[in-house]
Chains A and B, each alone.
Chain A
Amino acid sequence: MGEDWAINASMVAQRARILSVGTANPPDYYTQQDILDRFRVQNPVVRKIFTASHIHGRYLYLPPETEDGVPRESQSALLKKHRRGALALGRQAIARCLEPEGLEPSDIDFLCCVSSTGFMLPAMTAMYIRHLGFRLDTQRTDVVGMGCHAGLNGMNPVVAWAMANPGKNALMVCCEVNSALYVYDDSIGTGVVNSLFGDGCAAVLIRSAESDEPRFSPRVLGFQSHIIPETWQAMSYHWSDEHGKFYFNLDRDVPYVLGTHAEDPVRALLGRFGLKPRHVQHWIIHSGGKKVIDAIKYTVGITSHDVRHTTAVLRDYGNLGSGSFLFSYQRLLAEGRIQRGDYGLMMTMGPGSTIETALLRW
């Protein structure tokens, strides 16, 4: 396995690296109990979902409290909240990502924004250029409406761009204001969704070096996608005439379906590099929910220790959508246990139903 890569060292050297990561969340943190109290949730099944969901709390942009506990935000107010939240979170996450590298937004040559929690036109990249000091000739792409797995769908073209433009700085920003996408009623379906998602943003700097500068950051060796079209509607947005809002629907069994298929892209991706799951030291998996994490453990054959950051991010933030896996990546780096030559596997899951994977090597 490792030997194959020694042979292809020159090919590996050309791959782009993830140089830095920065994250941000709204200022206010709510435990699950806080949210139940604030919205005076009565349905015992929904209350049970909130307290048993393996989430401690979440950072959210919640609306002001009302007398009867029912939140009142129109769709236009939610779109505004998404835009304002995305700007505030993006500003912080981008600064935290670039600062350790001594860079400013004006040093960025390619900007890719990933978001699914509010439709924007002009796009998020345009808003960031307008407000955050990016150059007017910054090249840009917006990946919108793809869902929780979209961080890797964004990273794939960003890595390709970085490799086609050695020495140039590419920045990907995954920004989700999940509190801008909800319907509030007493049903179990909305209860599941409203108990799960949190607000957060993660930015990563990606560059391929003109010369092979020696530094300790992972190269992105390749990507592998997998879609399960039979369940393409299992996670989906719908318009509610009753509430005058978009809402998100999550089918009950889809976590296990995703888990069952997770083995396919993992084996295919690793197989391209002559590797097996046992050769991967670091698993950087989207914190989709308790069930899907369990399912992946038992199909890919990895342990609770392997998914420790995934479960910890879920516990501390809820499901942050497209940027979730980068929060886990940040925690992995903070542990300081990665060795040169280690492999990491990124995996994100979402609507479609989709599993995206990427292989890293330090």
Chain B
Amino acid sequence: MKPLETLRYHEDGDLATVTLLRPQINMKMVRELTAVCDHLEDESACKVVLFRGSGGQFCHGIDLEEFRPDQGVDIHGFNKWEKVCVRIERLPKITIAEMRGEVIGGGVQLALVCDARLASPEVTLQLNEVRLGFLPGMATFRLAKYVGLGRAKRMIMQCPTISAEHACEMGLIDEVSEQIAAALDQTIARFQPIHPVVIQLARRLLNESFATDFEDAIGNFLAAQHRAVTQTAFLKTIKQHHKA
């Protein structure tokens, strides 16, 4: 992996930690997140990826400095961001977002593509894009699956600032804790043992669940289940069952 400027990447055993070194997302960060995904898919043997921020923050969303009033806005950059979000969403690893401070816009979007979301008690969440005159990316697609359409409309169209506690009640955050390091350890432990193929299949079916009709979904499920049960993890389970 080339040296990173906007991120720090650290791998320790099964855990890879991706630290956002600036609260705003710029194109450089998008490119570097893509490079990190390449590394995670092609080279890393880690099983869990933690996304976190620095300086007591997680992520404040898009960097408006990237845009100039005298220049047209290129949709291509938004597409690159969505592509890296999908890459993160489909990584063959467990992904966890560790949120601190004010989590705004793209920060919420990043948390939505992870498998689990942890927050310290002071965290607030806000999707402020509509207020600023643009759209909160594919949170328009993902958010309602977490919180229901009514709450998603409120969050996206009225742009309220929501407390961690409230977000946790809505199912947007999995756990709020003062001891976030301990909460992280417990979360990772709950995912064990990690079968990467089965994790990917389960997550994909869930992600597709609101956007697929039942006839297609059952076909998809059977295909995925066939793949799952021909994996060594399930064969091992059967062997152990018979030994016992």
Contacts and interface: CB of A to CB of B under 8 A. Distances in A.
Given A290-B219, A301-B90, A301-B200, A295 B226 contact: yes
A297 B220 contact: yes
B96 to A, nearest CB: 22
Contact of B219 (A294, A299, A301): A294
Contact of B220 (A52, A298, A299): A298
A276 B204 contact: no
B186 interface: no
Nearest to B211: A304
Interface string A43-55: 0000000001000
A260 interface: yes
Interface string B219-231: 1101110110010
Nearest to B220: A294
Interface residues of B, number: 17
Interface in B6-55: 41-42
A291 B223 contact: yes
A298 B227 contact: yes
A256 interface: yes
Contacts of B42: 276
Contacts of A256: 222-223, 226
A259 B227 contact: yes
Interface in B168-217: 200-201, 204, 215-216
A298 B201 contact: yes
Interface in B62-107: 87, 90
A190 to B, nearest CB: 23
B220 A259 contact: no
A291 B219 contact: yes
A226 to B, nearest CB: 16
A260 B220 contact: no
Interface in A248-298: 256, 259-260, 276, 278, 290-291, 294-295, 297-298
Given A260-B230, A301-B90, A295 B41 contact: no
A295 B223 contact: yes
Contact of A294 (B90, B204, B223): B223
B79 to A, nearest CB: 14
Q: Is the interface of A mostly helix, strand, loop or mixed?
A: helix
A297 B200 contact: no
Contacts of A278: 41, 87
A257 to B, nearest CB: 8
A294 B222 contact: yes
A299 B227 contact: yes
Interface string A288-318: 0011001101110100100000000000000
A291 B218 CA distance: 10
A301 B227 CA distance: 11
Contacts of A304: 216
Interface in A66-85: none
A276 B38 CA distance: 10
A333 to B, nearest CB: 23
Nearest to A295: B223
Contacts of A260: 226-227, 230
Nearest to B92: A301
Interface string B90-130: 10000000000000000000000000000000000000000
Contacts of A299: 223, 227
A298 B90 contact: no
Given A260-B230, A290-B219, A291-B219, A298 B224 contact: yes
B223 A276 contact: no
B226 A259 contact: yes
B223 A259 contact: yes
Interface in A144-175: none
Contacts of A276: 41-42
Contacts of B220: 294, 297-298
A291 B226 CA distance: 11
B143 to A, nearest CB: 21
Contacts of A52: 215
B223 A297 contact: yes
Interface in A100-128: none
A199 to B, nearest CB: 26
A219 to B, nearest CB: 25
Contacts of B223: 256, 259, 291, 294-295, 297-299
A258 B207 CA distance: 25
Contacts of B204: 298
B100 to A, nearest CB: 31
Interface of B: 41-42, 87, 90, 200-201, 204, 215-216, 219-220, 222-224, 226-227, 230
Interface of A: 52, 256, 259-260, 276, 278, 290-291, 294-295, 297-299, 301, 304
Given A256-B226, A291-B223, A299-B223, 7 more contacts: A291-B222, A297-B220, A298-B201, A298-B204, A298-B220, A298-B223, A298-B227
Lowest 9 A-B CB distances belong to which pairs?
Answer: A294-B223, A256-B226, A295-B223, A298-B224, A298-B223, A294-B219, A299-B227, A298-B227, A260-B230
20 contacts: A52-B215, A256-B226, A259-B223, A259-B226, A260-B226, A260-B227, A260-B230, A276-B41, A276-B42, A278-B41, A290-B219, A291-B222, A294-B220, A294-B222, A295-B223, A297-B220, A298-B204, A298-B224, A298-B227, A301-B90
